[in-house]
Every structure is written in structure tokens, then in C-alpha cells.
């Protein structure tokens, strides 16, 4: 069988690259409608020369189950190198990736998550206490603030407010960048120009802060520390006696990776969830009742459905190290294959009525494998998945227990824009807060209305 690429658009590479960087949801949706569930995009660096997009569950399974030596996810994610650093667990492959993952995993085990939950609850309460009922709340901004503090205190272990004030502006700038800034890692000359130069200067300043924090913690270790950095500093050789503990440079890159993979994505997912709840009072009422009943499964289902309905990360890439057949296509080595999370989540055959926000999809056990993929899959599945779901559930519980959410007058929908590599609400997912009466407060029976789900 000879190698050949699936069909795709004939637009110039530069046009496809700009559309992929800045309008990815529209581009992928249009290409899928025209060419079907497998198609090829021709892109410029830092993206793939040939990017073959798959979205069928059986094709996604082939990719996720593939031998990591044949499919390099690190090489497929090189676009992130300019921000995360060469040691990032997202950018390494084979033995180097396996070692990093072994050393990181204990910090995200179930027992560790239970230790983080109390501080996450405290941070959520502190932030929601500062909200003002009756005003239109820009939830993307508020969730960025909240999840950034979670990263600083729970992941980085920066408990001193004065040090957090040094970190916060640097961390915000590294997150809130235009996707075109990522080209600076491939074309170094760009780094001498305005926005790219400022981005590099900010990264250098952040690295200095991180190295200072790592040095401080090494000099005064806290073996019982409950934050992620303390656990990473205390880790020995893991399950493999040949493993060398993480160096300062590796710790720096993993911390930035956790920032980008854990802060920005969770903030966006929560803001989308608030928008969807505000747009659907019936689902919101059921979620509120679930909070009162201590039903975290339904609250988590709300977050999962927000991640499906409003996909935050568009896809997961793998670079083929040799010629391979995937989805019936014989592809040459060097091809980057992308499992499109966005298209998989929008497929009506796997998610009936995909535009409807329905957390119940995640309660009946009918969700097929390889159809819900916000954390990727296979040996590269996000190690912070449990942390993200725990954090998101805690925040939703705190907000829903205290406020009713509604859309501002004149707002009926929310468009998408790409920030860094995530899909965020273009309008900030604004909602109006109405304080809920206490459940034990007297209620006028004439005025009481309790909507029920039909």
C-alpha cells in the first residue's frame, strides 16, 4: 500500500496556519463537514507540515493505544515549547517522558487529592465571599483569579501573600497570550520584536522567581508539606531505581506546565459551566438540589458536560516516527496525527443532540469509550485530571450553594476565542448573581415556585 494523505483544503499553508491558530473550532467544523471524519491540514511551523485529523472513536483508540515509540506526543506538542520548556512532561517522549510521569504521579494520587481539597475549599470560599449580588460577574476573570491562587498555594506552595503578589502578574501574562506569540519559539528573530520580546522578558522573570522558590524550599525542606511542589521535592527514585529525582530546571518546566494545563483550562471550563447553568434554569435547579443533597456525582457531571459542550482543548497530537496505517490510511513517518477532541465531542452519533447541555449524559453509564476526551488518553492522559475535577466540583458547589445565576439582559449565547491554546468565552461568560435565601429561612408559600425537570 502506498502512502497518501487524506483530502483537505487547498488554501495556502499560511492561510491554513493562521486559521488553525486563531479560529480552530470554525476551521475544524467546516473541514469535517466538507471532507468527513478524516482530513489533512497543511501548516507551517510551529505546527505540523501535514496534520491529519481523526475524530471517529475507533481511530482515536488506534492513536491512544499506539506504541509511544511509534507516536511521539512530545514532538506533536512542540508548539508549546516556547512557553513550557524542554523538560515539560507534555514535550518529552519515551524513556524521558515515562520517568517524568513516574516522578509526578504521586503528587496527584487519590490520597494526595484528599489532602489538597481542604485548601481548595478555603480558597473558593474566600473568593466567592468577595462577590457582589446583583452585578454582572465576568466569570472568566473571576475563575482565572481563583484558579491562579489555587496554583500558587496548592501547587507552588506559595503561602506568603507578598510572594504571591510577585508571582501573580508574571503568571497572568504567561497565560493570557495571543496564540500567534507561540511562533516565537520556532522563529527566534521574532523574540527581538515588541510583543515577543516582552513575552520572553516575562518568562525570564518568572523563571527567576520559580528558581528562587525552589532554592528556598530545598534549603528549608518541609517533608510533610501538603502542596504539590513539596511532594515533588520529597520524591526519591519512585518505582524505578534508575530514576534520578527532578532537577531544578525540570521542576521549573513542570511547574509552568501545571500552571498552563491546570489553571487556564479549569478556569475556562468553570466559566463555560456557569454560562450554561445561567442559560438553563432547570439544570441549574437540579444542580442546586444536588449540592444540598451532597450529590457530588451530579455536580461533577455538570462540569464534565461543560467540558464536552464547550471543549477547552481542541485536540491531542502525535508525531509518527515511522510509516504507519491509521484509520485505513498509510501515512509516512513525520506526519502528525491529531485526535480532535472538539469534533469528537460534537458528533451527534455519539452525543445525541450535541448542542443541548445535559449533565445526565454522564450519569446513565451510556457514554462510549473514546467519545469524551478533555484529558486526552492512553499513556499521555493528563495526570492532573483528578485534581481538575476535584477543584471544579468544589467551586461549583460553593457558588451554587449561595447564588442563583442568570444571563445579563440581551445576552443569549457566548462565542469562542482562542487564548494561548485554550478555547475561552469571548465575552467572559458574564452572569448575574442573585443571593439564594437560606434553606431554613421561612418562605411565603404563595410565592414559592420550585421548578422541576420534565
Instruction: Note the pLDDT of residue 351.
Output: 94
Record the pTM: 0.89
On whether the CB atoms of residues 391 and 148 are closer than 8 A, the answer is: no
Instruction: Note the pLDDT of residue 453.
Output: 38
Q: Quick one: CA torsion of 178, 184, 190, 192, rounded to 10 degrees?
A: 100
pLDDT top residue among 410 and 313: 313
DSSP 178: -
- pLDDT band of residue 242 (cuts 50, 70, 90) is low
- Rounded Cα gap, residues 164 and 166, in angstroms: 5
Helix (H) or strand (E) holding 100: helix 94-104
- pLDDT band of residue 76 (cuts 50, 70, 90) is confident
- pLDDT band of residue 328 (cuts 50, 70, 90) is very high
Q: How many CA within 13 A on the CB side of residue 31?
A: 29
pLDDT top residue among 315 and 199: 315
Q: Are strands 50-54 and 336-340 parallel, antiparallel or unpaired?
A: parallel
On whether the CB atoms of residues 336 and 26 are closer than 8 A, the answer is: no
pLDDT top residue among 448 and 374: 374
- Rounded Cα gap, residues 270 and 192, in angstroms: 36
- pLDDT band of residue 220 (cuts 50, 70, 90) is confident
Beta strands in 26-70 (DSSP E): 38-42, 50-54
On whether the CB atoms of residues 273 and 386 are closer than 8 A, the answer is: no
Instruction: Note the pLDDT of residue 196.
Output: 78
Q: Has residue 66 got a pLDDT over 70?
A: yes
The alpha carbons of the chain give a radius of gyration, in whole angstroms, of 22
Helix (H) or strand (E) holding 325: strand 324-326
Q: Has residue 130 got a pLDDT over 60?
A: yes
Instruction: Note the pLDDT of residue 2.
Output: 54
DSSP H helices, 151-245, are 161-175, 194-219, 228-234
On whether the CB atoms of residues 435 and 133 are closer than 8 A, the answer is: yes
Instruction: Note the pLDDT of residue 172.
Output: 86
Instruction: Note the pLDDT of residue 411.
Output: 83
Instruction: Note the pLDDT of residue 447.
Output: 39
Q: Has residue 32 got a pLDDT over 80?
A: yes
- Using the structure block, give the residue that is written with the C-alpha cell 509511544: 68
% pLDDT > 70, the chain? 91
Instruction: Note the pLDDT of residue 187.
Output: 67
Q: At CA 214, angle to CA 392 and CA 76, rounded to 5?
A: 60
* Cross-strand bridge partners of residue 41: 51
Helix (H) or strand (E) holding 433: strand 430-435
Instruction: Note the pLDDT of residue 367.
Output: 84
Instruction: Note the pLDDT of residue 262.
Output: 82
- pLDDT band of residue 444 (cuts 50, 70, 90) is very low
Instruction: Note the pLDDT of residue 439.
Output: 59
On whether the CB atoms of residues 398 and 99 are closer than 8 A, the answer is: no
Helix (H) or strand (E) holding 42: strand 38-42
DSSP 427: T
Q: Has residue 440 got a pLDDT over 70?
A: no
Q: Has residue 43 got a pLDDT over 80?
A: yes
C-alpha cell at 64: 491512544
Averaged pLDDT for residues 111-128: 95
Averaged pLDDT for residues 386-391: 96
C-alpha cell at 406: 442568570
Q: Has residue 446 got a pLDDT over 70?
A: no
Instruction: Report CA torsion sign: 71, 327, 79, 231.
Output: negative
CA neighbor of 140 nearest in space, from 426, 437, 421, 370: 426
Averaged pLDDT for residues 29-39: 96
Averaged pLDDT for residues 240-253: 83
Residue 162 neighbours by CB distance under 10 Å: 7
- Min mean pLDDT across 42-46, 250-254, 350-354, 382-386 is at 42-46
Instruction: Note the pLDDT of residue 234.
Output: 82
Angle between helices 385-400 and 281-292 (to 10 degrees): 100
Averaged pLDDT for residues 92-115: 92
Q: Are strands 329-331 and 136-138 parallel, antiparallel or unpaired?
A: unpaired
Instruction: Note the pLDDT of residue 433.
Output: 96
Please state, rounded to an integer, the average pLDDT across all residues of the chain.
89
- Rounded Cα gap, residues 105 and 312, in angstroms: 23
Amino acid at each position: 500500500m502506498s502512502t497518501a494523505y487524506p483530502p483537505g483544503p487547498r488554501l495556502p499553508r499560511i492561510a491554513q496556519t493562521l486559521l488553525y491558530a486563531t479560529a480552530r473550532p470554525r476551521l475544524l467544523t467546516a473541514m469535517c463537514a466538507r471532507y468527513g471524519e478524516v482530513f489533512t491540514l497543511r501548516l507551517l511551523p510551529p505546527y505540523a507540515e501535514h496534520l491529519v485529523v481523526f475524530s471517529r472513536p475507533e481511530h482515536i483508540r488506534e492513536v491512544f493505544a499506539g506504541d509511544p515509540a511509534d507516536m511521539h506526543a512530545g514532538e506533536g506538542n512542540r508548539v508549546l515549547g516556547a512557553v513550557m520548556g524542554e523538560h515539560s512532561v507534555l514535550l518529552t517522549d519515551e524513556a524521558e517522558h515515562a520517568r517524568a510521569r513516574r516522578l509526578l504521579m504521586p503528587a496527584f494520587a487519590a490520597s494526595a487529592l484528599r489532602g489538597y481539597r481542604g485548601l481548595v475549599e478555603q480558597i473558593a470560599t474566600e473568593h466567592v465571599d468577595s462577590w457582589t449580588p446583583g452585578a454582572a460577574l465576568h466569570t472568566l476573570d473571576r475563575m482565572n483569579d481563583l484558579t491562579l491562587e489555587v496554583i500558587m498555594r496548592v501547587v507552588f506552595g506559595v503561602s506568603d501573600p507578598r510572594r504571591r503578589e510577585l508571582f501573580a502578574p508574571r503568571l497572568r501574562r504567561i497565560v493570557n497570550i495571543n496564540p500567534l506569540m507561540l511562533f516565537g519559539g520556532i522563529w527566534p528573530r521574532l523574540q527581538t520584536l515588541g510583543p515577543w520580546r516582552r513575552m520572553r522578558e516575562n518568562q525570564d522573570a518568572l523563571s527567576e522567581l520559580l528558581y528562587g522558590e525552589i532554592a528556598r524550599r530545598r534549603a528549608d525542606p518541609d517533608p510533610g508539606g501538603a502542596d504539590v511542589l513539596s511532594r515533588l521535592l520529597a520524591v526519591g527514585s519512585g518505582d524505578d531505581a534508575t530514576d534520578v529525582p527532578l532537577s531544578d530546571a525540570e521542576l521549573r518546566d513542570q511547574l509552568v506546565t501545571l500552571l498552563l494545563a491546570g489553571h487556564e483550562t479549569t478556569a475556562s471550563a468553570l466559566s463555560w459551566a456557569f454560562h450554561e447553568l445561567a442559560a438553563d434554569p432547570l439544570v441549574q435547579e437540579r444542580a442546586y438540589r444536588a449540592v444540598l443533597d451532597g450529590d457530588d456525582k451530579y455536580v461533577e457531571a455538570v462540569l464534565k458536560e461543560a467540558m464536552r459542550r464547550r471543549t477547552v482543548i481542541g485536540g491531542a497530537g502525535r508525531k509518527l516516527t515511522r510509516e504507519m496505517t491509521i484509520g485505513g490510511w498509510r501515512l509516512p513517518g513525520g506526519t502528525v496525527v491529531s485526535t480532535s477532541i472538539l469534533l469528537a465531542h460534537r458528533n451527534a452519533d455519539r452525543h445525541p443532540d450535541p448542542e443541548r447541555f445535559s449533565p445526565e449524559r454522564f450519569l446513565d453509564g451510556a457514554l462510549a469509550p473514546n467519545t469524551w476526551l478533555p484529558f486526552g488518553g492512553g499513556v499521555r492522559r493528563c495526570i492532573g485530571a483528578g485534581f481538575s475535577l476535584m477543584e471544579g466540583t468544589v467551586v461549583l458547589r460553593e457558588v451554587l450553594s449561595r447564588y442563583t445565576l442568570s444571563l445579563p439582559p440581551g445576552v443569549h449565547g457566548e462565542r469562542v476565542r482562542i487564548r494561548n491554546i485554550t478555547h475561552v468565552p469571548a465575552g467572559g461568560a458574564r452572569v448575574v448573581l442573585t443571593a439564594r435565601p437560606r434553606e431554613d429561612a421561612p418562605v411565603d408559600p404563595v410565592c414559592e415556585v420550585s421548578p422541576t425537570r420534565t
